[in-house]
Amino acid sequence: MKKLIPLAVASALLLTGCGSGNYAATQLPAEPAPTQASTAPSTTTPCSKEGELASYAPNENTPAPGGVMPAGSYMEKIKDRGRLIAGVSADSLHLGSRNPLTGQIEGFDIDMINMVADAIFGPPAPGQAHKVELRVISSPQRIPSLQNNTVDIVARNMTINCARWQQIAFSAEYYRSGQKTLVQRDSPAKKTEDLDGQTVCAPAGSTSLDNLKKKNPAVKPITADSDTGCLVLFQQGKAQAISGDDTVLAGDAAQDPYAKILPERFSDEPYGLGINKKNVDFVRFVNAALAQMKTPGPSGISAWMASYNKWLGPDLGPLKAPPKAIYGRVPVKQ
């Protein structure tokens, strides 16, 4: 029997602990109330596998970082409030997780949020925090928290797809992940098809769960609301495997020396920043900021690449360039 380690359990206890920046990191209620936004009409852009990555093109007159936001815009509302409110994970190592030494939530997804905040408020002065309030949400809470305006934006390894475009809007793609499966180090499995009859955990409300069922209908799927939840079930022996994004599994494997990740990658998971579909002006603004983040600076390295190299590169290997933005989505005429 594999030895169990308490790291994931300890991490779960930290989720609602310390603050982040100048604002407390808030744990949202378990099930935000749905709103009529979930039944609002979709954009007029046909959504197909080829077209689902198309977002709204940035405006040519996007304000400079910290500049005056357009009157009546959603960015002006955020600036008047004094902070950007973002839904994030606090237990996805290297994407969004709480540093046990500093109490701060950090990672690749958090860098994306800080980038948006800096575009609105300007970069913080030395020693000052980004003007961001991070609210910890689970996978199932990502879309409802945008629909009921609990948060302005979500950065929580969320895959862009046609079904979700019916409910929310997305930025241009900021990272391309893929689904893999994590098993015990002594498992003889070589691929997900070798796990017939075994219990496999995938996050609730995720594309990973659907992909897993399609990949191997013979597994016994179970869910957890968080990445740590799946890792805890795995370490307790209640799940023989975890299936999910390679970014998340890399963090799981880093926390459990008795685990390994199978080499087979059986999906593409393009990440987008989630935004309420009514706030098209904000999507355009975010896309402009994201394009700037992907542009190489004087050193030849973009801020996006520096973030990738810091958080994901050590486990997932080097990348030549960030994913290319695709635009062309047309808003609905009210």
> Which tens digits make up the pLDDT trace of 134-192?
999 999 999 999 999 999 999 999 999 999 999 999 999 999 999 999 999 999 999 99
pLDDT for the residue numbered 45: 54
Question: Which segment, 2-16, 25-39, 300-314, is predicted with the most confidence on average?
Answer: 300-314
Do 166 and 275 have their domain in common?
yes
Residue 22's CB is within 10 A of a number of other CB atoms, namely 14
Rg (CA), the chain: 19
pLDDT of residue 31 exceeding 50: no
pLDDT of residue 65 exceeding 60: yes
Do 187 and 279 have their domain in common?
no
Do 306 and 248 have their domain in common?
no
Q: Which two tokens stand for residue 60?
A: 């040519």
- Containing 199, the helix (H) or strand (E) segment is strand 199-203
pLDDT for the residue numbered 40: 34
For 104-109, what is the mean pLDDT? 98
For 78-95, what is the mean pLDDT? 97
Range from 35-39, 222-226, 273-277 carrying the lowest mean pLDDT: 35-39
pLDDT for the residue numbered 271: 98
Instruction: Write phi, then psi, for 70 (nearest 5 degrees).
Output: -55, 140
Confidence of residue 39 (pLDDT cuts 50, 70, 90): very low
198 burial class (0-12, 13-18, 19+ CB within 10 angstroms)?
A: middle
β-strand 132-136 against 84-88: which pairing, if any? Answer: parallel
Integer Cα distance of 255 and 61 in angstroms: 45
Give residue 278's identity as a one-letter amino acid code.
Answer: K
pLDDT of residue 29 exceeding 60: no
Q: What is the pTM of this model?
A: 0.86
Do 136 and 282 have their domain in common?
yes
pLDDT for the residue numbered 332: 74
pLDDT for the residue numbered 14: 38
| Three-state DSSP state, 244 | strand
| Three-state DSSP state, 243 | strand
* Closest by CA position to 227, among listed 327, 94, 123, 138: 138
Integer Cα distance of 206 and 212 in angstroms: 10
Integer Cα distance of 96 and 144 in angstroms: 19
pLDDT of residue 4 exceeding 90: no
pLDDT for the residue numbered 21: 43
For 79-90, what is the mean pLDDT? 98
Is position 39 within any domain? no
Which residue would you say has higher pLDDT here, 50 or 271? 271
Is position 326 within any domain? no
Q: Which two tokens stand for residue 304?
A: 């996006």
Is position 230 within any domain? yes
For 232-249, what is the mean pLDDT? 96
Confidence of residue 15 (pLDDT cuts 50, 70, 90): very low
Domain residue limits at 274: 7-30+63-176+269-316
Residue 185's CB is within 10 A of a number of other CB atoms, namely 12
Do 13 and 88 have their domain in common?
yes
Q: Which two tokens stand for residue 9?
A: 């359990």
Do 93 and 214 have their domain in common?
no
Integer Cα distance of 6 and 181 in angstroms: 21
Is position 321 within any domain? no
Query: Structurally, how many domains does the chain consist of?
Result: 2
pLDDT for the residue numbered 46: 58
Distance from the Cα of residue 230 to its chain's centroid: 17
Integer Cα distance of 224 and 205 in angstroms: 9
Residue 278's CB is within 10 A of a number of other CB atoms, namely 18
Confidence of residue 226 (pLDDT cuts 50, 70, 90): confident
Residue 61, C-beta contacts closer than 8 angstroms, at least 6 positions apart: none
What CATH number does the domain containing 218 carry?
A: 3.40.190.10
Do 221 and 273 have their domain in common?
no
pLDDT of residue 133 exceeding 60: yes
Range from 10-14, 219-223, 258-262 carrying the lowest mean pLDDT: 10-14
pLDDT of residue 116 exceeding 80: yes
Instruction: Write phi, then psi, for 124 (nearest 5 degrees).
Output: -70, 150
Give residue 235's identity as a one-letter amino acid code.
Answer: Q
pLDDT of residue 202 exceeding 90: yes
Do 161 and 102 have their domain in common?
yes
Do 150 and 106 have their domain in common?
yes
pLDDT of residue 127 exceeding 80: yes
Give residue 241's identity as a one-letter amino acid code.
Answer: A
pLDDT for the residue numbered 120: 98
Is position 81 within any domain? yes
Distances (CA, A) of 175 to 143, 198, 248, 287, 312: 19, 31, 13, 13, 11
Which residue would you say has higher pLDDT here, 88 or 228? 88
pLDDT of residue 326 exceeding 70: yes
